Structure 1
Amino acid sequence: MSLPLIAVSIGDLNGIGIEIALRAHHEIKKRCRPLYMVHYGLAKTAAEKLGLPLPEPFEHIAPEAAPFTLAPGTVSPESGAYSFASFKQAVEEVSQKRADAVVTLPIHKEAWMLAGIPYKGHTDALRDFFKKEAIMMLGCEKLYVGLFTEHIPLKEVPGKVKEAPLTRFLLDFQRETGAGKIAVLGLNPHAGDHGVLGDEEETIRAAIDRANASLPSPVFTGPLVPDIAFSPQMRKRYTYYVAMYHDQGLAPLKALYFDESINVSLNLPIIRTSVDHGTAFDIAYLPDRPVNLQSYVNAVDAAVKLSKSQRA
């Protein structure tokens, strides 16, 4: 079987993503054919600034955005617009069956905002592109966390905890992962302490009961007390978790498995995986500092595995 063709969204070129792609290319090409969504001239300029060779052959497609002058470590509307165009091109390649999966390098949300892009990130955009309730799941084989709410202010989270959408989310998450056991976190300290510290857990419990009743056997447990849910004892019991909000799930995940974790978009008609880190503007293009490639390599591995499974 031929190697999968992976459309690589190049991310914000003022950040660390292009260096990761170039340094990992030799390893990645053993697993797939990487197809980079970037102008050849921009990639060559970035490689020269980094003192790295541009791989040959360098399969690429120029996205529909004007090349711009690289400004390492700088938030700019030009880099934001370019990273969005690169992402859209990658999605188009897979949607049109010209590539097997999308792997995204990190974008900068403020740069997208400055460019007038109406999305807070990749997952938000994918929901709109496909009119599907995309699910953001992050983690590694040791621990995966699905986020019920993502990039919204914390004060808005309680209002989003409603029985019907949470039930749908739980069932979609289980169907997409195939997990036989899923831990669902409460929202409040001590999972509300029977109403003493909040009553959102009653809604979470109702959604869990409703979701379990829809399945051949119960899968979901909770609402669990968040501050003990990721203890070593609990992680022996659960690999898959659902968190009510962004930092509730990602703070423990990144404390435990920061270098290994990836982002996987579930509940979509295409395969999309991503690194689980940002643009690292503070170290972009600087010499003599370590660059960890593991998240990117793992994201490619996951995309390849999923695409092969889809082919089978």
Structure 2
Amino acid sequence: MAPLAVSIGDPAGIGPEIIAECWARRAGNSLAPFFVVGGAGVLAAAAHARGLSLRVERITAPEHAANVFARALPVLGMDDCNAVPGQPDADGARLALRSLEHATGLVREGRASALVTAPIAKAQLAKAGFTYPGQTEFLAAACGVDESDAVMMLAGPSLRAVPLTVHCALAEVPSRLSRQLIERRARILARALERDFGIDNPRIAVCGLNPHAGEGGKFGDEEVRIIAPAIAALQEAGVDVTGPHPADAMFTPRARARYDAALAMYHDQALVPLKALDFDEGVNVTLGLPIVRTSPDHGTAFDIAGTGIANPGAMMAAILMAGDMATRRAAHG
């Protein structure tokens, strides 16, 4: 299998140091070989500040990464910058964007088996010409996939959750819901759970939008008018889906044992329980793409960058998950 490609993210954030930490712990965690696109100097400085014994070795092609990985962190290309932890700037944003674009292209070409993206600063990237709300939307466009079919799933040891609507105001959520959206996202989720996570006959639980899942229309009619009919159509099509369930009871240990993934109606309905349960091991996975993409489910954390206290757990989990997904997808055909 081809190595994994890792984009460096904002070099002033915690991305470089947690990438370096993952390489330092590669053997104990059985990480698949990976290489970073750009930022050799940034990575070396981040490792030094963290007290890691790490050698960085530039490579000229992804195919060289596997031979280098055991002795050094492979870095593809000469792109670099002088980053100051906690102080994002235009040079760093340009490096982050070039790294993301190049890494994505390599995975699309099959020269890397999966993409792992370190955290970016969207405001900084916008100044460098990045016109997308986030990396998920960029990847959809790069892969020629309709933005509505690029599905964000947050995954950790305790929970997998998909927010049906993502980057919009809470007041806009009801108007964005539709039977078609629920059905399409649920089918993409079910296919990914089977193909990329090895779950036969995956079980999906759907949250209600309103308190008590609307209580028969007393607290809103979205459940009766939109969500329940979508669930019925999915069940008729053979998808193992239940709901709408009251969201306040859906994430208890007993409830989580009854499903493989939750389909939530809006951003915080999915992300609050995931981060409460699995913050240090949470992974952002993009479903519905022709490539495998994961990312740690946290931001750049500029406030702690360079202090040596950033937890590498989520980046480690993202690399592990990317390798597992790529292996399953290759076997699935």
- TM (norm. structure 1) is 0.90
- Give the 3 Å change call, closer, same or farther, for CA 251–6 of structure 1 in structure 2: same
User: Which residue in 2 is equivalent to 1:26?
Assistant: 24
Determine whether 1:7 maps to 2:5. Answer: yes
User: Which residue in 2 is equivalent to 1:137?
Assistant: 153
5 Å-filtered alignment, 1:163-182, equals 163-178=179-194, 179-182=201-204
On the 8 A contact 1:76/1:114 being kept in 2, the answer is no
Determine helix, strand or coil for the equivalent of 1:210. helix
Give CA deviations for 1:12-40 in whole Å, capped at 9, x if unaligned: 11001100011121323642222111132
Whole-angstrom distance in 1 between the partners of 2:290 and 2:280: 28
Where structure 1 has 5 or more consecutive residues not aligned to the other structure, the ranges are none
Bigger drift between 30-39 and 261-270 goes to 30-39
User: Which residue in 2 is equivalent to 1:60?
Assistant: 75
5 Å-filtered alignment, 1:271-286, equals 271-286=292-307
Match of 1:267 among 282, 288, 303: 288
Aligned partner of 2:111: which letter?
Answer: R
5 Å-filtered alignment, 1:298-309, equals 298-309=317-328
5 Å-filtered alignment, 1:1-312, equals 4-28=2-26, 30-56=30-56, 57-62=72-77, 67-132=80-145, 133-178=149-194, 179-201=201-223, 202-215=225-238, 218-287=239-308, 290-312=309-331
Give CA deviations for 1:144-177 in whole Å, capped at 9, x if unaligned: 0012111222222111101112211111111111
Aligned partner of 1:260: which letter?
Answer: E
Q: Would you say how many aligned residue pairs link Structure 1 and Structure 2? A: 304
**Post-superposition shift, 1:283?**
0.5
**Post-superposition shift, 1:198?**
1.5
Give CA deviations for 1:259-298 in whole Å, capped at 9, x if unaligned: 12211111111111111111111110025xx332221111
Whole-angstrom distance in 2 between the partners of 1:26 and 1:138: 26
Bigger drift between 97-106 and 28-37 goes to 28-37
Where structure 2 has 5 or more consecutive residues not aligned to the other structure, the ranges are 57-71, 195-200
Percent of paired sites with the same residue? 37
Determine helix, strand or coil for the equivalent of 2:213. helix
On the 8 A contact 2:156/2:274 being kept in 1, the answer is no
Determine helix, strand or coil for the equivalent of 1:274. strand
**Post-superposition shift, 1:122?**
1.3
On the 8 A contact 1:22/1:55 being kept in 2, the answer is no
Structure 1 vs Structure 2 CA RMSD: 2.0
Aligned partner of 1:104: which letter?
Answer: T
Determine helix, strand or coil for the equivalent of 1:120. coil
**Post-superposition shift, 1:121?**
1.3
